[in-house]
Amino acid sequence: MLRFDGSGASDRGPVREVNEDAGFLSASILVVADGVGGSAAGEVASATTAYVFSRAMTPGTHPMIALDKAVRRSVDVLSGAEAADAHRGGLATTLTALAVDGDRVALVHAGDSRAYLLRAGGLLRLTRDHTYVQQLLDDGFLEESGVAGHPWRHVVTRSIHALPIPDDERPEYVELALVPGDRVLLCSDGLTDCLPDERIGALLAVPRAEEAARILVDEALLAGGRDNVTCVVADVVTAHPTARPRVSGDGLRLGSLEDDGNVLAATGLSAY
């Protein structure tokens, strides 16, 4: 029976007034969300979405179905909040989440937060950034060397936000074949803007997940990081179905999700 076992770290960084990143980790789900758009309460969008995902896994539900329901639920809550309050507009967040039901693993992804897999010492990026700059790279209009200083490198082309969401802006889903011994990293762009993949791979290999998460965040800040930085590091482990997971039942909350005041209530919304 497959489960996640790990830890995470989040830091506001030296410049930003609030941490608009949210993270969550439990034995069945991993989440990183990075609120988009400063003034429009990015911390509310990220915390609310991460909270919805923290409750997503229920026994007997395929992880792909659970992730899809949580996306719809998040969009529902953000849409309801904007409809109820004319001053509340532009609630949006990136999202990268991984769910396991004991057997199958699924990933959902929107925006420029990333997921990586460390397997047998090699690092593999599991997500492709949904950014304007990534599109320029794919289309051959930009070289890799032009990414770091590009003025539009933070423009994301997909995110979780209120309706309407056009088809080509919806999150991407993929089923993954993970095995015991794999380690995964979910992180916000505060990490990947500052550290190259080779360095991320080296630091992710630190034996204890908790230490790896802390070191990754610290090194991003030491490298001059000014954005919020969030890392969730989890090992894929086998556990007896009745064994208590090492991560507590409530899971670990990070960043803006540490403050309940950031989580929008879902009352009065269309159920599905």
Question: Contact positions toward Mn ion, by CB under 5 A?
Answer: 34, 188-190, 227
**Paired strand residues for 106:** 99, 175
Cβ-based nearer residue to Mn ion, 99 or 220: 220
The least distance separating Mn ion from the CB of residue 107, rounded to whole angstroms, comes to 19
- Please say which residue, 6 or 190, places its beta carbon nearer to Mn ion: 190
Residue 188 beta carbon to Mn ion: minimum distance, rounded to whole angstroms: 5
Closest separation in Å from C-beta 165 to Mn ion: 21
Q: Which is nearer to Mn ion, 184 or 229 (CB)?
A: 229
Q: Which is nearer to Mn ion, 80 or 225 (CB)?
A: 225
**Comparison of 90 and 245: residue with beta carbon closer to Mn ion:** 90
**Smallest separation, CB 240 to Mn ion (Å):** 38
Write down the least CB distance from residue 196 to Mn ion, Å.
17
- The single-letter DSSP state of residue 244 is P
Residue 44's nearest CA partner among 204, 263, 250 is: 263
Cβ-based nearer residue to Mn ion, 82 or 227: 227
**CA 23, CA 15: separation in Å to the nearest integer?**
20
Beta bridge partners of 252: 25
Closest contact distance (angstroms) between CB of 238 and Mn ion is 34
Helix (H, G, I), strand (E, B) or coil at 25: strand
Q: Which is nearer to Mn ion, 129 or 189 (CB)?
A: 189
Give the DSSP letter string of 149-215. Answer: T-TTTT-BS--EESSP--GGGSPEEEEE---TT-EEEEE-HHHHTTS-HHHHHHHHTSSSHHHHHHH
Structure tokens at 85: 């309050």
Least CB distance from residue 34 to Mn ion, whole Å?
A: 4
Neighbours of 261 (CB within 10 A): 9
Please state at what angle helix 209-222 crosses helix 197-204, rounded to 10 degrees.
Answer: 150
User: Cα–Cα distance between 264 and 185 in angstroms, integer?
Assistant: 27
